[in-house]
Structure 1
């Protein structure tokens, strides 16, 4: 009975080109995800430039002005609609 059992390794077919492509693609995808997660976790110090400081308040003022203009534009039609009633 012991001679009937075959404990040799089963024959495994060689992986095809598409299987290899899929396997290495999964490895590259995992590596890319690790790089992205590390980019979020590890802070990168930004170089401190003198020119960037004066431009920041200007950009903040520019963003505030359109919001104020949009709010006043929204209020005008409502007042005109009330006058028509």
Structure 2
């Protein structure tokens, strides 16, 4: 009865080229996601405060100008109608 049992491992086919690409692509994607999550969680030192402050001011001025321009272009002049007598 013990002679009937076969304890050899099953044959696993060799992975194809596309399976290898998928396998390594998934690993690269996971590493990229970990790097992105760590970039969000870990703070970065800000050594150039004057450069970023000047940029923020310029950026807010541009946003205000864009909002004002968008508001003026969205207003259409009212159509004047003549009263019929």
| Bin of the TM-score, shorter chain as denominator length | 0.5 to 0.7
- Aligned-pair RMSD on alpha carbons? 2.4
Which one of the candidate residues 53, 77, 80 is aligned to 2:78?
Answer: 80
The TM-score normalised by the length of structure 2 is 0.67
Cα deviation code 1:7-66 (max 9, x no counterpart): 221222332333222212211111111111211222222222424434533432232123
CA 1:37 to 1:55, structure 2 compared with 1: closer, same or farther past 3 Å?
closer
CA 1:33 to 1:49, structure 2 compared with 1: closer, same or farther past 3 Å?
same
Partners of 1:33 and 1:70 lie apart in 2 by 38
Q: For structure 1, which runs of at least 5 residues remain unmatched after alignment?
A: none
1:37 aligns with 2:37: yes
Equivalent position of 2:56 in the other structure: 56
Q: Larger % of helix: which?
A: 1
Query: May I ask how many residue pairs the two structures share in their alignment?
Result: 82
